[in-house]
Structure 1
């Protein structure tokens, strides 16, 4: 069988693969984009965008429960047509998918966009259907899929994942959400607010991946007031007539369906990674440098959710750009020799759960802090004026700094409009700002950001630093 040569072969047409392809195009390299699954990116099809559409519908409908306090009559008569709401979510999903496809693969020639599965025969030789592709460099960007234990697959369409939930024309009357990380918590709360009977289960003692025990405690109290949470025990599923029975410890219920959100696994099956000649870990992943995305010393790179490191869109985009840049670099000749990959500084870690209130983690996580060298500041949302006016003064902000330098290290929080606070914190951490420098930024009144100011003031009082001036909030003129 004849081999076809390209500079760069990209396996996967999701966010990482498309960003890698843009680097190859900019450099004028020959390439192929290979995709064996549904095109359109995980974010647009089954992730960020359809979930946010459902969250928005649920939040708007839930808002009716607050209208009576403002003297707005008739709010109790508002009703929701679930099939129509789901159709709206699907329409929004289809719009986002069409936008991705329209700006990426729709108009690509068949010889550049191969809609088939790839398998490594050698580090730079791929079998793609009946073709053989020899490449100067290969990028693995195959994404991930929902983790579903094999025994649970026997429950058929009563066992939902994000791959199937957004295809439903109507919702079951009762759902057990197993796994209360980002996906399970966001969708569990939304389903509850859409009028579905929901109970949440997780074998961990925390939710939303929180590691700060105080923030986790607050989050469990806040979310647990909306729908029951059962933590610290693994959930078992069995058939119960037309329903499914869920048992966790001493608690058991019967429901019409289960939303399985216990995690995602890398799409590695059939890739032939054993033919790369490197040792694979327990998950089947090869060793790679997260700053260059290079696999060992091979002309192979890996990027996006398949790495199982930072499964969020902006990180997948960064990894795709890094992998693409370095694939271009090693296939370019300088003075007759291939150039080595460059290593890039990664962005400050930033995780946002869009439940209400938002749950966010920024920078260094609580369990990675040096307790002897770290100061912690906090503020409860209860007395924050703007949050009180909004009728959403629930939550807690905790911020961490180096005790002697005052440099901000990280934060965890549950707060209304936390998504905005999280960005301010991540930008400040990435700039290497100190607590004092942050406090010298403008804070308007009354805004949610005043809660962050309060947490920073509490943190500032606990630092062992030399002050830059007589007033923390203002700098002296030189």
Structure 2
């Protein structure tokens, strides 16, 4: 068996593992990167990239149906579902070289393509290689959570890991779970010609601000997607080449089933007990510095318990560890400044606290300002007037921002910058933006915050009158 001694051993070549490996090796560390599956991890191969590619195809189809208000005769698009999946594959293949084994070996990373397991507190085995390292990072990501529903293990079903291999358009797609993945794929498939029914055991988009979620759900239902809330699947069975779900309110039939009920960390192969690493079903137990119960071993991204499960969070964690592991500087992971987005149409984006969270924390000291898309000149010109921005403010600083509407994922960016850097609302109010842009909606929200102070203040009015009387 081959033996390697190294500074840093990273297990998992997804977003976080790749970012840390690239940074560490280029700054002089010896790095071993172990990956038993696909380079690029879930995001490239089964998640962010393919889902957004399919969403893009659906948008093109929907544009053909909805041109009447712009003077363009609507037509029913002729959808080639197989070609749409080819677009998905093309997007993956275009990005894949950036995440490839060849690229990282070219950077100087020792890449091992096999599954890793710990054999002690400072050692792992991967295939025929034993690796000892000063520090280990578990970056193994997550997989779809499959709920314990009677009969589910006896029927064919899809997850995000198999969905994009489906080259034949489903006639009627049943989706378990009305979270981001479930609803993004519901809208994309419906726009590409599928009948879609979504079942949610609780509330659709239940972790989001209800006012914002309502904007998204209203559009999806308007487009013809059936979303059943408080409707848990109690049993599943295959019938005549299709799928039947048993619920408390009756039977629901479809041709295909997508399970989108959450994520589970990929830890089962690692034999963490041998390394003295504590973990739960939510991931490796880590402190604010992302260190586990074994001081040599860290966990990032979806593999770390209590963290937000997003690709960009794994990348952020890689930066935190680069600071501490490579330079020996104190660094802690925080989440108050981490944005997230749901890529339905309209989109939903959030950074910081929701209104309910901010109200619970700050009470009467909280100020909330809103500005509607319908008051934006660019939104009116684009025919995209659904939605609003809502800013939660404490002592002049934004502590949370919610946006539901067109390009919300792009529009959250300056607010993420403000919250990350502790900027006050005047920073947004003082910013000059090109006209007309949707970005002005954020600036107008800042203006709405200052308007009462400027236009409703008798002190200001008296001052202005005083100055005016003395100007020659």
The TM-score range, normalised by the shorter chain, is 0.7 to 0.9
- For the 8 Å contact 2:392–2:401, the answer to whether it is kept is yes
| TM-score, normalised by the number of residues in structure 1 | 0.86
Determine the C-alpha separation between the residues in 2 that align with 1:347 and 1:368: 12
How far off is 1:173 after superposition? Answer: 0.6
- Report the secondary structure of 1:225's partner residue: helix
Q: Distance in 2 between matches of 1:296 and 1:326?
A: 17
Q: Which moved more, 1:377-386 or 1:197-206?
A: 377-386
Match for residue 207 of structure 1? 205
Q: Work out which of the residue numbers 451, 456, 460 in structure 1 matches 2:441.
A: 451
In the aligned structure 1, how far is the partner of 2:333 from the partner of 2:199? 39
CA displacement 1:88-107 (0-9 Å, x = unmatched)? 22222222223321663465
TM-score by length of 2: 0.87
More helix by share: 2
Q: Classify the secondary structure of the residue corresponding to 1:162.
A: coil
Q: Which residue is equivalent to 2:345?
A: 356
Task: Deviation per CA, 1:357-385: give whole Å up to 9, x if none.
Answer: 11011112334212322111113333433
Structure 2 runs not aligned, ≥5 long: 462-472
Q: Return closer, same or farther for 1:156/1:130 CA change in 2, 3 Å cut-off.
A: farther
CA distance in 2, matches of 1:92, 1:443: 32
Are positions 1:260 and 2:250 aligned together? no
Q: Which residue of 1 aligns with 2:170?
A: 172
Deviation at 1:147, TM superposition (A): 1.0
State whether structure 2 residue 431 is matched by structure 1 residue 441. Answer: yes
Structure-1 residue corresponding to 2:147: 149
Structure 1 residues 153 and 5 mapped into 2: Cα distance closer, same or farther (>3 Å)? farther
**For the aligned residues, what is the CA RMSD?**
2.8
Indicate conservation of the 8 Å contact 1:295/1:302, yes or no.
yes
Q: Which residue does 1:318 correspond to in 2?
A: 316
1:127 match: 125
- SS of the residue corresponding to residue 238 of structure 1 reads strand
**Shift in CA distance, 6/341, structure 1 to aligned 2, threshold 3 Å:** farther
Gap change, CA 1:453 and 1:204, over 3 Å in 2: farther
- The answer to whether residue 66 in structure 2 is matched with residue 87 in structure 1 is no
Question: Superposed, which structure 2 residues align to 1:239-278 within 5 Å?
Answer: 239=237, 240-250=239-249, 252-278=251-277
Alpha-carbon separation, structure 2, partners of 1:174 and 1:344: 43
Corresponding pairs, count: 452
Unaligned residue ranges in structure 1 (runs of 5+):
330-338, 472-478
Match for 2:377 among 385, 399, 413? 385
Deviations 1:326-355 (A, max 9, x none): 3335xxxxxxxxx57544666711001111
Q: 1:462 to 1:233 in 2, by over 3 A?
A: farther
Matched with 1:221 is 218
1:173-201 C-alpha deviation (Å, 9 max, x unpaired): 11012112221111111111111001112
Closer, same or farther: CA 249–124 of 1 in aligned 2, 3 Å: same
Which residue is equivalent to 1:286?
284
Partner of 1:116: 114
